[in-house]
């Protein structure tokens, strides 16, 4: 039998339906791959072997009875540890939630499970999704499959590394300022951030409520489209989700070149300036050349407010984080310091022991920008800048159908390289935060490799709820580039 871990999710589901392999065989192949590579990568914080095999066995029994298989039948899926999975630890990469066992599935997890997917584990992440490298996890860092001395990106670095290393063909992540797209670019995966409100946030532990959005990381654009079509849609438990379906999404990623014909592509000049690595610049410009050759109309545009995006994001995000994380006080759930003599001391000692340094830093920043005397100078100005960014993007989309830009300014940096320089770490998100501030859909796809063999990502941004447009363009570009077909052997396989 062919190596089952070499197939993407769509192909694996077809293999199961045809009877070429059972769900148990597919699950076992991926679990063995995880066991072989986890000592090097540390993609997971929880591996659910027994439950995964039970799910797979149930799928095989259902098929033997002639029952109809779901669209993701037998596909192994990993879930970022910020999304709840019933009865299994949801730590958010933090000591403060090390004892938390949720009694329910996140809506997106429940929908993936109902589609026949086999949930195999919870992936490592930056604590409470605060970070760009997955080094800020209380359980240790994840490593990049292409170079074990480098980061996989963050905060969904565990999910990205799991997909890139073929531990799973599909994983769920969350994106607050680029935390799906940035690790996808660093690790050589497809990462899709849906429109804000496209996917329910019920069961997603909040970092910044107006920015957070769950989405898939995958081996192919068609898998990302298939997963989003299942995850999306109304949910009575989330008042921020849009009352619209996702009927057109799964068909968008056909990979046909006609998706580029006549497409108006905007290239924001603000994304191609100082700080952009020449190899990243060249790879993204090759994508633009391919799009133009496929019939797209490519033009450079100016969006002046983008220069405010990174500062605006880190004010808005930290302000919301300081409010959301106030619930973690040792009273309701998770860690509690039982030696404290007073309630105030229990609050203080629980948070001191439970939160990591990056989370404490962002809580303090957020509390400061919301405090009396500084609210107008910082938070109010940031909200005004956010409005300006949205308006200028709306204007840009009257002239363009999509925007194309680098996903990250550089390839993956080395472990420890930016830990002592938070501002340098924050700048890794400089090209991704814009889509979150405006609530726009965006996808990152692999578009080549650096001379050192590190993946490079190209980002496509679209109008609100036009995932079908960006996925169609991404699939056509993916088919033309074949970027991952020429990939070198995974670093973990060379050991």
User: Domain holding 60: CATH number?
Assistant: 3.90.1300.10
pLDDT confidence of residue 147: 95
pLDDT tens, residue by residue, 259-270? 899 999 999 999
Residue 444: CB atoms within 10 Å: 34
Any domain includes 376: no
pLDDT confidence of residue 487: 45
Catalytic (active site) residue 179: yes
Q: Which residue has the tokens 């968008």?
A: 252
pLDDT confidence of residue 304: 97
Any domain includes 325: no
pLDDT tens, residue by residue, 427-441? 999 999 999 999 999
Catalytic (active site) residue 155: yes
Any domain includes 384: no
Q: How many domains does the chain have?
A: 1
pLDDT band at 23 (very low <50, low <70, confident <90, very high): very high
pLDDT confidence of residue 494: 54
Q: What is the mean pLDDT of residues 418-430?
A: 93
Spell out the residues 6+ positions from residue 216 whose beta carbon is closer than 8 angstroms to its own.
170, 171, 172, 173, 180, 191, 192, 223, 224, 227, 228, 231
Facing residues of 215 across strands?
173
In this prediction, what percent of the chain has a pLDDT beyond 70? 96
Catalytic (active site) residue 360: no
Of 7, 137, 155, 159, the catalytic one is 155
- Among 113-122, 214-223, 241-250, the minimum mean pLDDT is found in 241-250
Instruction: Give the span between the Cα atoms of 33 and 52, in whole angstroms.
Output: 14
Any domain includes 382: no
Instruction: Give the span between the Cα atoms of 452 and 211, in whole angstroms.
Output: 34
Q: What is the mean pLDDT of residues 56-65?
A: 97
Any domain includes 337: no
In this predicted structure, the answer to whether residue 488 has a pLDDT above a threshold of 70 is no
Q: What is the mean pLDDT of residues 347-356?
A: 93
User: Residue 399 sits in which domain range?
Assistant: 4-304+390-493
pLDDT confidence of residue 1: 65
pLDDT confidence of residue 337: 87
Q: What is the mean pLDDT of residues 279-301?
A: 97
pLDDT tens, residue by residue, 84-97? 999 999 999 999 99
C-beta of residue 9 within 8 angstroms of C-beta of residue 75: yes
Pick from 232, 300, 184: nearest CA to 466: 232
pLDDT confidence of residue 433: 98
pLDDT tens, residue by residue, 155-194? 999 999 999 999 999 999 999 999 999 999 999 999 999 9
pLDDT confidence of residue 495: 47
Any domain includes 368: no
Of 7, 80, 200, 322, the catalytic one is 80
Structure-derived torsion over alpha carbons of residues 225, 231, 236, 242, reported in degrees to the nearest 10 = -20
Q: Which residue has the tokens 């403060």?
A: 96
Give whole-number Cα distances, 395 to 53, 269, 327, 386, 392, in Å.
51, 15, 39, 14, 5
Instruction: Give the span between the Cα atoms of 403 and 266, in whole angstroms.
Output: 5
Spell out the residues 6+ positions from residue 89 whose beta carbon is closer than 8 angstroms to its own.
45, 46, 81, 97, 98, 100, 101, 122
Q: What is the mean pLDDT of residues 213-236?
A: 97
What is residue 144's three-state secondary structure?
strand
Any domain includes 156: yes
pLDDT confidence of residue 333: 80
pLDDT confidence of residue 246: 74
pLDDT confidence of residue 291: 97
Q: What is the mean pLDDT of residues 354-378?
A: 95
Any domain includes 164: yes
CA within 13 Å, CB half, 132 = 31
Number of helices followed by number of strands (H, E) in the chain: 15, 11
Residue 168: CB atoms within 10 Å: 31
The single-letter DSSP state of residue 21 is S
Give whole-number Cα distances, 263 to 20, 259, 448, 461, 477, in Å.
40, 7, 23, 13, 12
Q: What is the mean pLDDT of residues 461-474?
A: 96
In this predicted structure, the answer to whether residue 485 has a pLDDT above a threshold of 60 is no
Of 13, 179, 322, 468, the catalytic one is 179
Angle at alpha carbon of residue 430, lines to 216 and 221, rounded to 5° = 25
Name the pairing type of β-strands 442-449 and 190-193: antiparallel
pLDDT band at 99 (very low <50, low <70, confident <90, very high): confident
pLDDT band at 341 (very low <50, low <70, confident <90, very high): confident
Distance of CA 337 to the CA centre of its chain: 33
Give whole-number Cα distances, 488 to 149, 165, 191, 197, 391, in Å.
16, 12, 20, 38, 43
Q: Which two tokens stand for residue 361?
A: 């830093």
């Amino acid at each position: 039998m062919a190596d089952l871990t070499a197939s993407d999710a769509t192909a694996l589901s077809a293999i199961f339906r045809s009877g070429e392999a059972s769900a148990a065989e597919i699950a076992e192949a991926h679990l063995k791959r995880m066991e072989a590579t986890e000592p090097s990568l540390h993609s997971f914080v929880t591996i659910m072997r027994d439950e995964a095999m039970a799910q797979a066995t149930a799928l095989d029994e259902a098929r033997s009875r002639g029952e109809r298989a779901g669209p993701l039948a037998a596909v192994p899926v990993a879930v970022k540890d910020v999304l709840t999975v019933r009865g299994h630890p949801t730590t958010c990469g933090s000591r403060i939630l090390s004892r938390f066992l949720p009694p329910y599935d996140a809506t997106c997890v429940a929908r993936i499970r109902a589609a026949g997917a086999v949930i195999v584990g919870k992936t490592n992440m930056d604590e409470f999704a605060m970070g760009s490298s997955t080094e800020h996890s209380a359980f240790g860092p994840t490593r990049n499959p292409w170079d074990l001395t480098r980061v996989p990106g963050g905060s969904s670095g565990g999910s990205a590394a799991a997909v890139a290393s073929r531990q799973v063909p599909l994983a769920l992540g969350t994106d607050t300022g680029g935390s799906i797209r940035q690790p996808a670019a660093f690790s050589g995966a497809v990462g899709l951030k849906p429109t804000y409100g496209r996917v329910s946030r019920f069961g997603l532990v909040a970092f910044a409520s107006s920015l957070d959005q769950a989405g898939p990381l995958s081996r192919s654009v068609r898998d990302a489209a298939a997963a989003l079509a299942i995850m999306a849609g109304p949910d009575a438990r989330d008042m921020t989700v849009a009352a619209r379906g996702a009927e057109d999404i799964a068909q968008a990623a056909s990979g046909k070149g006609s998706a580029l014909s006549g497409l108006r592509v905007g290239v924001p000049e603000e994304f191609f300036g100082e700080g952009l690595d020449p190899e990243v610049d060249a790879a993204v410009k090759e994508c633009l050349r391919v799009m133009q050759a496929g019939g797209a109309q490519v033009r450079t545009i100016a969006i002046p407010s983008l220069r405010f995006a990174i500062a605006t994001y880190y004010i808005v995000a930290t302000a919301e984080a300081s409010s959301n994380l106030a619930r973690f006080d040792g009273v309701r759930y998770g860690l509690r310091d039982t030696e404290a003599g007073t309630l105030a001391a229990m609050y203080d000692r629980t948070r001191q022991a439970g939160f990591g340094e990056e989370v404490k830093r962002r809580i303090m920043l957020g509390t400061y920008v919301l405090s009396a005397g500084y609210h107008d100078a910082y938070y109010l100005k940031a909200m005004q800048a956010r409005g300006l960014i949205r308006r200028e993007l709306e204007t840009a989309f009257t002239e363009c159908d999509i925007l194309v830009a680098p996903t990250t300014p550089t390839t993956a940096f080395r472990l420890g390289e930016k830990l002592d320089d938070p501002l340098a770490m924050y700048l890794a998100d400089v090209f991704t935060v814009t889509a979150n501030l405006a609530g726009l859909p965006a996808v990152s796809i692999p578009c080549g490799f650096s001379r050192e063999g590190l993946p490079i990502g190209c980002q496509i941004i679209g109008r609100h709820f036009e995932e079908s447009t960006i996925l169609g363009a991404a699939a056509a570009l993916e088919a033309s580039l074949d970027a991952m077909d020429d990939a070198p052997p995974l670093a973990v396989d060379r050991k």
